[in-house]
Structure 1
Amino acid sequence: MIEAIAILAIRAAILLYVERQSNKKTIEGQSYKIRHLTGNLNEDDKKEKQQLLDDYHFDKMVRELKSEDEYAQLEPDDVIEERARAKFKSLYGYEYRKGK
Structure 2
Amino acid sequence: MKIQTALIPHKHVRFAGSLIGMAGYVRQFIGNSSISVDSLWAKIEAENNKAFNLEFTHLIYSLDILRCIQEISIDANGLIKNSNAHRIEALDVIRSHKESL
Shared fold (TM-score, shorter chain, > 0.5): no
TM-score after normalising by structure 1: 0.33
More strand by share: 2
Structure-2-length-normalised TM-score: 0.33
Bigger Rg over Cα: 1
